[in-house]
Amino acid sequence: MSELTLKAEKLDAADELAALRDRFVLDEGVYLDGNSLGALAAHVPERIADVVRRQWGELRIRSWTESGWWTAPERIGDRIAPLVGAAPGQIVVGDSTSVNVFKALVAAVRMAREQGSGGGDRDEIVVDATTFPTDGYIAQSAARMTGCALRPVTPAEVPGALSSRTAAVLLNHVDYRTGRLYDLPSLTAAVHAAGAYAVWDLCHSAGALPVGLDEHGVGLAVGCTYKYLNGGPGSPAFLYIRRDLQDRFDSPLPGWNSHADPFGMRSDYEPAASAIRGRVGTPDILSLLALEAALEVWDGVTVEAVRAKSLALTDFFLECVAAYVPAGRVECLTPPAHGERGSQVALRCPDAGDVMRRLIERGVVGDFRHPDVLRFGFTPLYVGFADVERAARVLAEELLG
Ligand SMILES: Cc1ncc(COP(=O)(O)O)c(C=O)c1O
Ligand SMILES: Nc1c(O)cccc1C(=O)C[C@H](N)C(=O)O
C-alpha cells in the first residue's frame, strides 16, 4: 500500500461525515461532478412517488393547501436559509438561476435609482467578465431594458470600476471554471459604499461553504439547487432578498404568485409584503418537493463541517496530483490559499477533452470545460479521501498514457 493510500484510509476513518455517503445512490466509481449535478439521495424516489401517487393522484387540487404545495417556495427557502447564513423569511425557491438573476438585477437597478439624491443618474451595470455565460447574457438584456451601460470587468477590477453611476454589480461567489472563491464581504461592502447593489450568484458556493448572507449585509443573491444541494436535474433556484429591502424589491416579473392577494384575482397589482414578491407563477411542485426531500440529508449537518472536509479533500487531491503527475503536465488554476478556494480543483492541460473522456470511461467522473480545463468537484457529503487518491492516480495514468 502506498503512503498516500494509507493516508487516505486514515483520513476516511477520522471523517465525521463519512457515513452520509450511504444516504446517496452511488456506484463504485468516483463522482467528482457534484458541482454540475449533485447525486440522488436514496430516499427521494419514494418521496416523489408519494407526491405523484397520493398528493397528485388522490388529493388532486386539495394538495395546494393540504399538502402544502402553495407555500413550498418559501418553506423550502427557509430550509436553505441556514446553509447560506440567512434568517428565515428572506428566500423563495422557484424558477431557474437565469430567471432569478434577471429579477434580482433589474430590481437592483430600480432600487439604486429610486434611493436618495442622484439615484436617477445611475446608468451602469458592472458584471463579472469571467462569469458563467448565462449571467453575462442576462446582464446584457437587463442593461438594455433599464437603459444602462454594461461594464464587464474582472472581479479584482470591481472596486476600481465603481462610481456614482453604478447601479448594480453582478458577481459570482466562486468562479465556475477555476474554482476561485471571491471575497464576498469586502466586495459587498465596496459596492454598497458606492451606493449600488450587489447581486451574488451562489451557484458554486451554496451547500459547499459558509456564505454568511445576513452577516455580510448582502442585499440580493441567487443560486441553484442541483449542485451541492442535490435537488435533482433542473431543480428550482433560490432568490434571497434581504428583509429590509423586501418592500423596495420591484420585480420585473410580477406574476400572480407574487401578489399580496393572489386569489383575489384583481386586475391591479399589489406586491406581497415579503420575499414572496420574488415569486412569479405556479411553482414547479414535483421538482420543488424533490428538492425539499433531498435537503433532509442536511439534518444535523453544518455547512462549516462540510467546508472543513471540502478543504481537506481539495488539499489532499492537490497533494496526490503533485505526487503522481509529472511536474509541468498540468497547470493548477485553483488558488492554493484556502480563503480563495471553492470546492473544486481545475487543472489545465492542452488535451483536457480527451483526458476527461478517458477518465470517465474508467469511472472517474469530472467535467471538461472549454477549451482546456479538467474540473473536479468535491462534494463532502458523499466523496471520501480514498476516492480522491484513486481519482488522482487514474488521472496520472491517463496523463502519462
Ligand atoms: C454560476 C452559474 N450561474 C448560473 C448557472 C445556470 O443557471 P440555470 O440554472 O438557469 O441554468 C450555472 C450553471 O449551470 C452556474 O454555474
Ligand atoms: N445546469 C447544467 C445543465 O442543465 C446541463 C449540464 C451542465 C449544467 C451545469 O450546471 C453546468 C455548471 N453550472 C457549470 O458550472 O459548468
Q: Give 102-122 pLDDT, tens digit per residue.
A: 999 999 999 999 975 455 689
Same domain? For 170 and 193 the reply is yes
Domain that holds residue 18: 3-31+301-400
Q: What is the pLDDT of residue 116?
A: 55
User: Which of 316, 283, 352 is CA-nearest to residue 76?
Assistant: 283
Q: What percent of the chain has pLDDT over 90?
A: 98
Looking at the CA of 36, name the nearest ligand: 2
Is 207 a residue whose pLDDT tops 60?
Answer: yes
CA dist 37 and 24 (Å) reads: 13
Q: Integer distance in angstroms from the first to the last C-alpha of the chain?
A: 22
Same domain? For 386 and 238 the reply is no
Is 232 a residue whose pLDDT tops 70?
Answer: yes
Q: What is the pLDDT of residue 1?
A: 74
Same domain? For 335 and 346 the reply is yes
Q: What is the pLDDT of residue 401?
A: 78
Q: What is the pLDDT of residue 118?
A: 55
Same domain? For 305 and 282 the reply is no
Q: What is the pLDDT of residue 355?
A: 98
Interface predicted TM-score (ipTM): 0.96
Region 17-25: mean pLDDT is 98
267, 298, 329 - which closes a domain: 298
Q: What is the pLDDT of residue 119?
A: 54
Do 223 and 202 form a contact (C-beta atoms < 8 A)? yes
Catalytic positions: 132, 201, 226-227, 375
Looking at the CA of 131, name the nearest ligand: 1
Q: Is residue 242 part of a domain?
A: yes
User: Which of 140, 121, 76, 78 is CA-nearest to residue 285?
Assistant: 76
Per the structure, how many domains does the chain have? 2
Measured in angstroms, how far is the CA atom of residue 236 from the centroid of ligand 1? 11
CA dist 273 and 374 (Å) reads: 45
Region 280-293: mean pLDDT is 98
Least confident of 102-116, 171-185, 296-310: 102-116
Q: What is the pLDDT of residue 121?
A: 86
Measured in angstroms, how far is the CA atom of residue 7 from the centroid of ligand 1? 36
Q: Is residue 42 part of a domain?
A: no
298, 325, 359 - which closes a domain: 298
- The number of CA neighbours under 13 Å toward the Cβ of 35 is 29
Summarize the annotated binding site as residue ranges: 97-98, 132-135, 201, 204, 226, 256, 282
C-alpha gyration radius of the chain: 22
Residue in the block written with cell 404545495: 69
Region 254-278: mean pLDDT is 98
Region 63-86: mean pLDDT is 98
Region 134-138: mean pLDDT is 98
Q: What is the tens place of the pLDDT at every residue in 314-325?
A: 999 999 999 999
Same domain? For 269 and 305 the reply is no
Same domain? For 160 and 98 the reply is yes
pTM: 0.97
For the CA of 98, the closest atom of ligand 1 is 10
Looking at the CA of 223, name the nearest ligand: 1
Measured in angstroms, how far is the CA atom of residue 195 from the centroid of ligand 2? 33
Strands (E) located in 229-278: 238-241
CA dist 390 and 76 (Å) reads: 36
245, 264, 298 - which closes a domain: 298
Is 159 a residue whose pLDDT tops 60?
Answer: yes
The per-residue DSSP string of 290-330 comes to HHHHHGGGGTT--HHHHHHHHHHHHHHHHHHHHHHSPTTSS
As to burial, measured by CB atoms within 10 angstroms (0-12 exposed, 13-18 middle, 19+ buried), residue 362 is middle
Q: Which residues contact 261 (CB under 8 A, 6 or more apart)?
A: 270
Q: What is the pLDDT of residue 57?
A: 98
Residue 7, all three cell numbers: 493516508
CA dist 231 and 39 (Å) reads: 8
Measured in angstroms, how far is the CA atom of residue 3 from the centroid of ligand 1? 39
> Which residue has the CA at smallest separation from atom 9 of ligand 2?
36
Q: What is the pLDDT of residue 234?
A: 98
Is 175 a residue whose pLDDT tops 70?
Answer: yes
Which residues, judged by CB distance below 6 Å to any ligand atom, belong to the binding site of ligand 2? 36, 132, 176, 203
CATH number for the domain harbouring residue 253? 3.40.640.10
Taking all residues of the chain, what is their mean pLDDT, rounded to a whole number? Answer: 97
Q: What is the tens place of the pLDDT at every residue in 335-365?
A: 999 999 999 999 999 999 999 999 999 999 9
Comparison of pLDDT for 259 and 120, the residue scoring more: 259
Is 17 a residue whose pLDDT tops 60?
Answer: yes
Q: What is the pLDDT of residue 120?
A: 63
Same domain? For 266 and 354 the reply is no
